[in-house]
Structure 1
Amino acid sequence: MGNKSFLPSFLVGFALVLSLKFANAQMVPAIFVFGDSLVDVGNNNYLPVSVAKADFPHNGIDFPTKKATGRFSNGKNAADFLAQKVGLPTSPPYLSVSPQNTSSFMTGVSFASGGAGIFNGTDRTLGQAIPLTKQVGNYESVYGKLIQRLGLSGAQKRLSKSLFVIVIGSNDIFDYSGSSDLQKKSTPQQYVDSMVLTIKGLLKRLHTSGARKFVFAGIGPLGCIPSQRIKNQTDHGCNEGSNLMAVAYNKGLNSILQELKSNLNAISYSYFDTYALMHNIIQNPATYGFTEVEAACCGRGKLNAQIPCLPISKYCSNRRDHVFWDLYHPTETTASILVDAIFNGPLQYTFPMNVRQLVTV
């Protein structure tokens, strides 16, 4: 009888300790995520005509539920790992939340959408996505809901301590690379300059609606992902044209971030040099525990990149060996390594501070 009464008390006490530990671990009130398939946690599941979906096997094979969730990954993605770092649950997909359920917005929400770009229309080959302009518009709607719930000063105080994560731009470069029309209209540098100018305007809108702490991930070496490597006829080398555009965009983004920091009130940010770290991983895979840097884990054909990761595709038995999960996206292991660097990274990869430092500003 004593044991029966002791067990529930013990469990209640244990649960209380766990909850206190979790509460102490929470470093920010909320995370709002904007971007593309690198951080989409399921918004595209709710888009009826989009082909850019990951709600089928073999995606999610290493996720805790072992099921596809809409993440373009074998498991968790960067949005999940960053939320864990700051002691929050993963921000839910915006399209999964009822507009009336404002409590769901209190710890943040994800607006990210597979196929999305800085420009509207980067999804034309995939049918449907939520471009960054629309994502920012959706956030402005959430901002209004938070003001209704907390009052203007309460909402602004909460948002000023929250993180605004932005991971986008790859699809715009893919769009340019595959479009003779876009190439006729502008040079690669002119196109990248337009990307930077557009995102600058959107960042100003976010600032007007309470955003103060930004986490930016620069574009990685796009020319080295499996879908780009297979375009080289003679070997599996990287596509230097895509890489040069990524470098040019990252340079422009850094420039406007420094400008906005000078001109807008109380902005702080952490810029992550995705390009530098991914390039280092590809050049020195053994240092990070990888053995395969060219081929995708899941797919078919040359480098497993001629046919996407579909239920009919093959997938590798040890995902930890591979840098890339499918023809476009990193494995869960790669995403974890990237977020470790975003959060704790040295100035080599994070500028002017890492996310651990950003949350204390």
Structure 2
Amino acid sequence: MAKNRNIIIFIGVLTSLTFASFPANVSGEPPLLFTFGDSSYDVGNTKFFSSEYYPAAMWPYGESLDKPSGRWCDGNIVPDFVGRLIGIHEPIPPVLDPKAGLSHGASFAVAGATVLLSQSQSDTMSFGQQVSKFVELSKKWSDKERGEAVYMIYIGADDYLNFAKSHPNANRVEQLAHVVTVLQRFSREMMRLYKSGGARKLAVQNLGPLGCLPIVRQEFTIGGSCMEMVNFMVTTHNERLSRVLSAMTVPYRSLRYSLFDLNGEITRRINEPARYGYTDTTTSCCGTGSRNAYGCGYSNVHSKLCSYQKSFLFFDGRHTTEKTNEDIANLFYSGDKHIVSPVNIRDLVGKSVTNLPVQEI
């Protein structure tokens, strides 16, 4: 009898540990996941939006998955891993795929997307256009589903890279003015996502050290150094981004957010490669040129491909490898306040919005 009781107790403890490993959600079901941004979050929208040649749909992209999937990576990207961690077993689909099932969420990210859409950009969707698309489709999900969903956002890299290319001699005043303009538009679109879309839980990555990307080192021929002008704008953007998100919670009391310090994590890996299991953090795994940073996926470019992707921080000239993406996702999900604040995604998922007045959603 005692033996049977011990077995029952063991099973009970095992069951409790099993359920504890899943993220706590107020509805008891995994939350929906929506993603917005540029090529770092694109899961294939670009091939449905643009008729331009799409390198991410060609080998060696997807090398670690044995086939290209439209992701600018050798395998999975950060939202793929976060989706699994919050309990979604299938990757969320590109929203522009007419055959996509949207029962677990959708990706609105498109390669080349910016916060500020210029008139010359016709082959991508700006952040504002992505938000508009979400608002247009929002009635596909209930108020409660949208309120408890996680909204992952990574946007702004191309705003600063494009500015550096078109204004190489911009002074500090002009650089700061550009940062202010980008953040003003970003804040406006975030408010629209909240007010018109019903978003309540935001998971935002700050910008990585863009001036240290292999493609930037290569194109601007700066040798072993990072491009200071770009990194200055990125640092200023990141400092003010934290304040923008915090300020939004004052008028919008139901807003919750996680802000992940991507910049710090990538910088640490660049500076201490061996500590994180890399042999190269300044050159691309796939491409050609002085930093192997150009041409990955292009049929007319004789790109080189490294023999072991996990030893590289970057897969191509501006996108990280699957190994890096998995590390980032795990930290985003459960990292401490030195990395992700004020709460991580695991805690964000557990924040209830059920006590909000109906008119707020």
Does 1:220 pair with 2:208?
A: yes
Superposition TM-score, scaled by structure 1 size? 0.85
Contact 1:164/1:214, CA 8 A, preserved across alignment? yes
Paired residue secondary structure (1:214)? strand
Tell me the secondary structure at the aligned position of residue 262 of structure 1.
coil
Measured after TM superposition, the shift of residue 92 of structure 1 is 0.6
1:77 is displaced (CA, Å) by: 0.7
Describe the SS at the equivalent of 1:254. helix
Letter in 1 for 2:181: S
Determine the structure 1 residue equivalent to 2:341: 351
How far has the Cα of 1:172 moved from its partner? 0.5
2:124 alignment partner in structure 1: 129
Residue identity opposite 1:117 in structure 2: T
Question: Is 2:332 the partner of 1:342?
Answer: yes
1:118 maps to 115
CA distance in structure 1 between the aligned counterparts of 2:202 and 2:119, rounded to whole angstroms: 24
Following superposition, the deviation at residue 231 of structure 1 comes to: 4.0
Residue aligned with 1:160, SS: helix
What is the CA–CA distance in structure 2 between the aligned matches of 1:318 and 1:325, rounded to whole Å? 10
- For residue 302 of structure 1, give the secondary structure of its aligned residue in structure 2: coil
Where do 5+ consecutive residues of structure 2 fail to align?
1-14, 352-361
1:127-166 per-residue CA deviation (whole Å, 9 max, x = no partner) reads: 61111111001100111333xxxxxxxx111111110111
The structure where helix makes up a greater share of residues is 1
What is aligned with 1:37? 39
Pick closer, same or farther for the CA change 1:84–1:122 going to 2, 3 Å.
farther
The residue number in structure 2 matching 1:256 is 244
1:144 equivalent to 2:143? Answer: no
- The yes-or-no answer on 1:86 pairing with 2:86 is yes
CA shift for structure 1 position 123: 7.3
Structure 1 match to 2:56: 54
Contact map agreement 1:121 1:131 (CA 8 A) in 2 = no
Amino acid at match of 2:85: K
The alpha-carbon deviation at position 120 of structure 1 amounts to 0.9
Please list the CA deviations of residues 295-354 of structure 1 after superposition, one character each: whole Å capped at 9, or x if unmatched. 100001211024344343120010000000001100111111111111111111111111
Asked if the contact 1:214–1:269 (Cα under 8 Å) also holds between the matched residues in 2, the reply is yes
The one-letter amino acid paired with 2:245 is L
- Give runs of aligned pairs for residues 143-162 of structure 1, distance below 5 A: 143-146=138-141, 155-162=142-149
Give 1:237's match in structure 2, choosing from 225, 238, 243: 225
Could you tell me how far apart the structure 2 residues matched to 1:122 and 1:34 are? 21
Query: What is the percent sequence identity of the aligned residues?
Result: 28
In the TM superposition, residue 252 of structure 1 has moved relative to its aligned partner by 1.6
Tell me if structure 2 keeps the 8 A contact 1:218–1:273.
yes
Question: Quick one: higher RCO (CA 8 Å, sep 6+), 1 or 2?
Answer: 2
Deviates more, 1:226-235 or 1:176-185: 176-185
Is the CA contact (8 Å cut-off) linking 2:37 and 2:110 kept in structure 1?
A: yes
Inter-CA distance 350–185: structure 2 relative to 1 (3 Å threshold): closer
Root mean square deviation of aligned Cα:
2.4
| Structure 1, unaligned runs of 5 or more | 1-16, 147-154
The SS at the match of 1:118 is: coil
Q: How many residues align?
A: 326
Quote the residue 2:180 is aligned against.
193
The TM-score with structure 2 as length reference comes to 0.85
Q: Which residue of the partner structure matches residue 266 of structure 1?
A: 254
Any idea what SS the aligned residue of 2:258 has?
A: strand
